[in-house]
Homo-oligomer: A and B are copies of this chain.
C-alpha cells in the first residue's frame, strides 16, 4: 500500500517553497515597476496557502517514508512544482496557454532551458527573474535528490559514485545525509553568489548578473537576452561563464574537497579526471577546424569553442554562436554532446561521465576477457572494484536511455517534424541541454511545436532529469503490486 498522507505532506512543503521563492521575482517586479507584480504576488499567495493547507491537513506518517513512496515523491515533486510554478506566466497573460506555460516551467525546473518564447526580452522583469529562478530551484532539487534520495532508490547504477568520490569508508563527505545535503546546497548558494558578483564586476548589470548566475550554476541556460550569452561580447564575461559552467558540471563533493584543500581526495574521482581531460581534449581538437572554418582569430576561436563545448557537455545550453553553421561533421559532434552530460552529483543532466567511463573501461576489459576467458579481470573506478551488478545496471541505463531517444524520435516524427529536428529535440530534452540541431538549433524558439509535442517533450525532460528509472518504474506492474 502506498502511504498517500506522507506524500501529500511533502508536497505541501514544496508548494510553500515555490511560493516563497516567487517573492524575489516580485521584488524585482516592484523595483522595475513592471506589469507582472500582481501575478507574482497572487501566485505566491496561492502556493503558500495551498502549501500550508496540505501541510496541516496531513499529519506526519508514523511509518515514515519508504522506498516506494520515495519514487512517487520524486516524480510528484517536479509535477507539483511545475503546476504551481507556471501560474505567474498564465495569470500575467505573458504565456496564456497551459501547454506553453507548462513547457516553459518544466524546461526551467528540469534545468533544460529550451524556450517557447520568441521574444524573451519582451517578458517583464519579474517573470524573467522567476523563469531563471525555476532553473535554480531545479538545480538545488537535483543536488538534494542525488545526495539524499537517489542512493536510497538505486537509480541507474551511479548512486555509489555520487557521495563517495573518495572511496568506501574513509574521507566520506559526512556520515549523515542531511548534513551532507545541507553543505552541498550551501556550496551551491555560495557559488551562485560568487558568479553573480563576478558577472556584475565584469560588466553585466545587477539584474542580468543575478539571472545568469542562477542559470549558470543550475546548468540551466535560460538567459534574459534573445541572443543568449552572445549578447555579452566581453571576453572576460565569457571566460567567467566557461569556468563556472565547468564548475557547475563537477560533482559538488569534488568541489567541496577542492575548496577545503583536500586535492588528493578530489583527484581520486576518476569521473572528474575523465571529465576534465575529455573537455580539454575536445576544446583543443575542435578549436582547430573551427578556426579554419570560421573567420575569427586564434583566441576568439579557442574561446568560442571552449564556451560552446562546455556549454553543451555540462548541459547548460548558453549560446554564443550557431555551431550548426560550420560543417556537417561539427554539427554531428555537437549533436553527440547531447548524450554526454557532465558529472553525477552536479546539476548537469544527461548520461554523465561516470556511466560513460564505466562502459568504456569495461568494454576495453571485455576484449581482455575474450582473449583470456579464464582470467578474472575486475573493473575499478576511484580505486574500488565495481561489481557486475553495477556494471549491468549502468549498461542497462545507457541502452534504455538510447531506446527512449529512438522511440521518442519516432513518436515526434509522426507528429510531423523532420528526422533531424526530432532527433535533436528528443536528445536535448532527454539530456536537459536546451539547444540542439535541425529546427531546434541554438538560435531557435520551440514555439512551432504543437501542444501535444510540447507536453511530450516536457515529459522527456522530466524523464531525463530524474534518471529515467524513477519515472519508468511507475509504469511497471511491480511498482503497484502489493508487497
Contacts and interface: CB of A to CB of B under 8 A. Distances in A.
Interface of A: 67-68, 153-155, 327-329, 331-333, 335-336, 359, 362-364, 366-368, 370-373, 388-389, 391-393, 395-396, 398-400, 402, 406, 409-410, 413-414, 416-420, 422, 437, 469, 472-473, 476, 478-479
Given A392-B392, A398-B399, A469 B370 contact: yes
B336 A410 contact: yes
Contact of A359 (B372, B399, B409, B417): B399
Given A392-B388, A473-B371, A406 B336 contact: yes
B469 A328 contact: no
Closest 8 CB pairs of A and B: A329-B414, A395-B395, A329-B413, A367-B476, A328-B413, A371-B478, A332-B413, A368-B478
Nearest to A473: B367
A135 to B, nearest CB: 29
15 contacts: A154-B370, A154-B373, A328-B413, A328-B416, A328-B417, A332-B413, A332-B419, A336-B406, A363-B396, A366-B392, A367-B478, A368-B478, A371-B478, A388-B388, A395-B395
Given A388-B388, A391-B392, A399-B395, A419 B331 contact: yes
A381 to B, nearest CB: 16
A336 B413 CA distance: 13
Given A399-B395, A399-B399, A409 B332 contact: yes
**Which of A409, A478, A479 has the largest count of B CB atoms less than 10 A from its CB?**
A478
A363 B419 CA distance: 27
A482 to B, nearest CB: 12
A402 B359 CA distance: 12
Contacts of A366: 392-393, 396
Contact of A469 (B329, B364, B367, B393): B367
Nearest to A333: B410
A481 to B, nearest CB: 8
B422 A420 contact: no
Given A333-B410, A395-B396, 9 more contacts: A67-B371, A154-B373, A328-B416, A331-B419, A332-B422, A359-B396, A363-B399, A370-B469, A419-B420
How many copies are assembled? Answer: 2
Nearest to A371: B478
A329 B395 contact: no
A479 B398 contact: no
Contacts of A406: 336
A153 B372 CA distance: 11
A158 to B, nearest CB: 13
Nearest to A154: B370
Contact of A153 (B370, B388, B391): B370
A332 to B, nearest CB: 5
A328 B331 CA distance: 21
Given A362-B396, A388-B392, A399-B399, A370 B328 contact: no
**Which of A333, A399, A416 has the largest count of B CB atoms less than 10 A from its CB?**
A399
A399 B472 CA distance: 21
Contacts of A372: 478
Contacts of A410: 329, 332-333, 336
**Which of A332, A333, A393, A400 has the largest count of B CB atoms less than 10 A from its CB?**
A332
A351 to B, nearest CB: 11
Nearest to A403: B363
A391 B388 CA distance: 10
A246 B437 CA distance: 38
Given A370-B469, A392-B392, A364 B476 contact: yes
Contacts of A373: 154
Contacts of A67: 371
A70 B469 CA distance: 41
**Which of A364, A413, A418 has the largest count of B CB atoms less than 10 A from its CB?**
A413
B328 A400 contact: no
A371 B477 CA distance: 10
Contacts of A389: 388
Contacts of A368: 476, 478
A335 to B, nearest CB: 8
A62 to B, nearest CB: 23
Contacts of A479: 367, 371
**Which of A331, A406, A409, A414 has the largest count of B CB atoms less than 10 A from its CB?**
A414
